[in-house]
Amino acid sequence: MKVLHIGPKNYPPNHGGVEKVVYDLVIGMPEVESHVFTEWQSSSACQRVMCLPKGLFSQRSMVRDYAQRENIDIIHFHKETFVPLALLLKFAGYRCIITIHGCAWRIPVFPFYIRLMFYLLDCFACCLLDRTIFVAENDWQLFSRIFPYAKLQLVKNGVALSEWSRKARRDEMVYLGRLAPQKNILRLIEAAEESNTRVDLYGPLDKRDQKYRERILQSIQKSHYVEWKGPIAFENVPSILSMYRVFINPSLFEGLPLSVLEAADRGLYLVLSDIPQHRLLQMPECSYVDPYALNLTGVLPKLNNAGVANREYVQQEFSVHKMVEAYYNIYKSLL
């Protein structure tokens, strides 16, 4: 079986949840020959990893020719913006599936017409592609009601469980992920200043919005409590998280946030924005904060061992092995 993955920004992953999911699928299915098309040019020497060109029709030509040459069985897309490309290739006779890693039309900062466009893309995917997979349960439930006869499935993200010990940890909060507008980083910096709370940020700056990047850097430079540690390699994520007691994600929008699962797996106490995607996780040791009126006063746990129950919960509910098995069964069902 040969599967072509389209949509991760880079490979191997840096901080994006989509990138990590694709990586786990490639690594976790040795019986499947995996190929990857990324959005960003990478210096990686990984086999069968290439960068997509710009433009819909250039992408269609490149993917179609590649799939024909390599005898690809299934093309697996990983982002709503690739639905038009998926439809073109589906109409050309290829088996095409897509994973919706969070419905972008739910992002409140987007204008109405942008949100409507994303919603329609999700509807087209549900109706026309061979499988549409959701990682967020509320998204899957919604579209299952709208399209009861569509081939929709729920596959929750998972993390690889790792050995862990509770050693002395830093009192600073840690955020790990892209420093993008929907992640609410500017408000997090302001809240840290207002509450005299130290926060360490790990992750790459958003490449799409130059003005936002400049605002982030200016805010960090002026801050007395927030420090940006820069991007880190994905293999260093467990060791970095293990240095802290508390993980914060103030995001305005998520699908099924992989960084939250990774932090819970390391036994961190969680401070999460009060959004449905975080509530659905049902983490046992967690505080919820209003992302629009973010206040960090009093959210730090008083007990040093707070977070242990999160690790036990993730081990039971969000195993990467369950995720990989579910995707493998979907692939087999299409052949």
DSSP readout, 54-114?
Answer: SSHHHHHHHHHHHHHHHT-SEEEE-SGGGHHHHHHHHHTT-EEEEEESS-GGG-TTS-HHH
Q: What is the pLDDT of residues 118-155, one digit of tens each?
A: 999 999 999 999 999 999 999 999 999 999 999 999 99
Q: How would residue 232 be classed by pLDDT, with cut points 50, 70 and 90?
A: confident
For residues 261 and 257, give the distance between their C-alpha atoms in angstroms, rounded to a whole number. 7
Phi-psi region of 55 (alpha: psi -120 to 50; beta: other; left: phi over 0): left
- Is residue 283 within 8 A of residue 270, CB to CB? The reply is yes
* H helix intervals, the chain: 17-28, 56-70, 83-91, 112-128, 137-146, 185-195, 210-222, 237-241, 258-265, 276-279, 308-317, 320-334
14, 60, 89, 105, 230 from 56: Cα distances, Å: 25, 6, 11, 21, 32
Least confident of 27-36, 123-132, 299-308: 299-308
Q: What domains are there in the chain, each with its CATH number?
A: 2-158+319-334 (3.40.50.2000), 170-317 (3.40.50.2000)
Average confidence (pLDDT) over 262-278 = 93
Check pLDDT > 90 for residue 305: no
pLDDT grade for 291, boundaries at 50, 70 and 90: very high
Which tokens in the block code for residue 324? 């990989």
Burial of 239 per CB tally in 10 Å (0-12, 13-18, 19+): exposed
Percent of the chain scoring above 90 in pLDDT? 72
Give residue 151's identity as a one-letter amino acid code.
K
Please report the pLDDT score of residue 210 as a whole number: 84
For residue 12, what pLDDT is reported? 86
**How confident is the model over 60-86, as a mean pLDDT?**
97
pLDDT band at 167 (very low <50, low <70, confident <90, very high): low
| Angle in degrees, 0-180, between the axes of helices 210-222 and 185-195, rounded to the nearest 10 | 10
Average pLDDT over residues 299-323: 85
- 305 vs 201: CA distance, rounded Å: 22
CA angle 237, 240, 241 (to 5 degrees): 85
Cα distances (Å, whole numbers) of residue 202 to 14, 176, 249, 310: 11, 5, 12, 21
Rounded to the nearest angstrom, the gap between the alpha carbon of residue 180 and the centroid of all alpha carbons in its chain is: 13
Strand 286-289 vs strand 269-273: parallel, antiparallel, or unpaired? parallel
* Dihedral (CA of 180, 16, 165, 282) sign: positive
Structure confidence at residue 53 (pLDDT): 94
> What per-residue confidence (pLDDT) applies to 163?
67
pTM of the model as a whole: 0.87
**Per-residue pLDDT at 168:** 59
Residue 63 is encoded by which pair of tokens? 């993917």
Q: What pLDDT is recorded for position 44?
A: 67
pLDDT: is 40 or 123 the higher one? 123
The region, left, alpha or beta by phi > 0 then psi within -120 to 50, assigned to residue 298 is left
Q: Could you tell me which residue, 109 or 294, shows the higher pLDDT?
A: 294
Contact 261, 314 (CB under 8 A): yes
What is the reported pLDDT for 281? 92
What tokens were used for 293? 């009126």
